[in-house]
Amino acid sequence: MQRSTHDDVRLLLEHQAPGGAYVASPSFSQYPFCWLRDGAFIAHALERAGERASAARFHAWVARAVKGRESDVRELIARGAAGDTVDHERMLPTRFTLDGSSEVDGGWPDFQLDGYGQWLWSLGQHSRGGALAEDVRGAAALVADYLEAFWDEPCYDAWEEGRTQHHTSTLASVAAGLRAAGVFLEPGYAVTGDAVWRFVRERCMSDGHFVKAVRNPAVDASLVWLATPLGLVDDADSPFARTLARVEEELLTRDGLLRYRADTFYGGGAWVLLTAGLAWHHARAGRVERARELLGLAERHRTADGNLPEQVPTEGTDAWFLDYWTRRWGPTASPLLWSHAMVVLAQLEIAEAACRGRHSTPTS
Ligand code: BGC
């Protein structure tokens, strides 16, 4: 079904809690929380759609949630600096209740650094539109100090898997977040951001392309983020171009993009947010027709009421695992706010790229 950017934006705004948090999915049993990762992308989509006040409320909410844990975080940083082992159970959480006040337990793989990097990155984008409030800057400095202290601590990735690995998109998110903090806080943070990025270029490559994790030569769709939106490489960067080619060759199905080949969550379906993210990247690179095709693929999965799910089964989906997760948690999350946000970002980028195309003067 057809929906306009306006409808998707409205859905995102409707599901922002009064305090500023965005719920991951209002109807899925496991997602009544706010993840920083999802939230950072959602805030950016709303910012781009002209809803700056909503993004500001989200950033202020994150700042309150993080500042409430300041003494714990400072103690962890001090322990890390003294060479003590830090307890992963005490690290900043991945997801928060919507009031930001209490941590969510229940055995969730909580130690994930990428969301904090993505939050700083998203806040950096927000800061381009006007000065940040002092309390938000204070919370950002705390997060930047935390990332500087622990960036090389192995942790769960963007898919909440692989606790003992160094994941490329996690490190890249941290690098981009610290670089952003280097602009809107203190230049010193960018020096660490550059060091993290060097680490990625040295350790997260194989056969001339970026890989899913150190010593894991597979590709993962989250590698697209290195260029769009994180801006660590551009489209023409040769390792990135090879990565993109492999991602499309191995992960693009007739229903959209898989997270990675060996995925078993809900059988390993095609993720709307990743397909839309790929469309966003192609539009940024000026390949508008390709971007439109991919966006069409993502939007084909709208339900009758226009909602976008997290993922859909596709060719190669493992029936046993699809059934297992469906019995355990019910059908896949829908609407997933992050899916709507990525579709909005792709739609806006395509519109801008098409406009750039119409107004560019041929050079020869
Ligand atoms: C995904 C995460 C996401 C979370 C909430 C998980 O299943 O792996 O990437 O942040 O859902 O949407």
Minimum CA distance residue for ligand 1 atom 5: 24
pLDDT-derived band at 290, boundaries 50, 70, 90: very high
Region 309-338: what's the mean pLDDT?
98
Region 289-305: what's the mean pLDDT?
98
Give the distance, in angstroms, between the CA of residue 330 and the centroid of all CA atoms in the same chain.
24
**Sheet strand arrangement including 252-253:** 252-253, 256-258, 270-271, 311-312
Which tens digit of pLDDT belongs to each residue from 187-237? 999 999 999 999 999 999 999 999 999 999 999 999 999 999 999 999 999
User: Residue 110, class by beta-carbon neighbours within 10 Å (0-12 exposed, 13-18 middle, 19+ buried)?
Assistant: buried
Q: How far is the CA of 339 from the centre of ligand 1 (A)?
A: 11
Region 173-178: what's the mean pLDDT?
99
Answer yes or no: is pLDDT of 362 > 60: no
Answer yes or no: is pLDDT of 149 > 70: yes
Which tens digit of pLDDT belongs to each residue from 96-123? 999 987 766 667 778 999 999 999 999 9
Instruction: Please state at what angle helix 187-203 crosses helix 168-184, rounded to 10 degrees.
Output: 160
Please tell me the number of Cα atoms within 13 Å of 129 on its side-chain side.
15
Answer yes or no: is pLDDT of 304 > 90: yes
Region 43-66: what's the mean pLDDT?
98
Answer yes or no: is pLDDT of 363 > 60: no
Minimum CA distance residue for ligand 1 atom 8: 159
Region 80-86: what's the mean pLDDT?
95
Q: Tell me the percentage of the chain whose pLDDT exceeds 90.
A: 93
pLDDT-derived band at 291, boundaries 50, 70, 90: very high
* Amino acid making up residue 146: Y
Give the per-residue pLDDT at 245. 98
Give the per-residue pLDDT at 102. 72
CA distance 119 to 148: 15
Which of 12, 108, 265, 310 to probe ligand 1 with, by most ligand atoms within 8 A of CB?
310
**Ligand 1 site, residue 273, Cβ cutoff 6 A:** no
pTM of the model: 0.97
Taken in order of first residue, the domains within the chain and their CATH numbers are: 5-353 (1.50.10.10)
Mean pLDDT of the chain: 96
Q: How far is the CA of 252 from the centre of ligand 1 (A)?
A: 20
Give the per-residue pLDDT at 364. 40
Minimum CA distance residue for ligand 1 atom 12: 24
Which of 308, 338, 339, 340 to probe ligand 1 with, by most ligand atoms within 8 A of CB?
338
Instruction: Please state at what angle helix 36-48 crosses helix 114-127, rounded to 10 degrees.
Output: 20
Answer yes or no: is pLDDT of 361 > 80: no
**Ligand 1 site, residue 44, Cβ cutoff 6 A:** no
Give the per-residue pLDDT at 3. 81
Comparing 4-13, 55-64, 86-95, 327-336, which segment has the lowest mean pLDDT? Answer: 86-95
Task: Provide the pairing of β-strand 252-253 with 205-206.
Answer: unpaired
Name the 3-class secondary structure at 209. strand
Which tens digit of pLDDT belongs to each residue from 251-261? 999 999 999 99
Active-site annotation, residues? 157, 160, 310
Answer yes or no: is pLDDT of 21 > 60: yes
Give the per-residue pLDDT at 106. 67
Task: Report the nearest atom of ligand 1 relative to the CA of 158.
Answer: 9
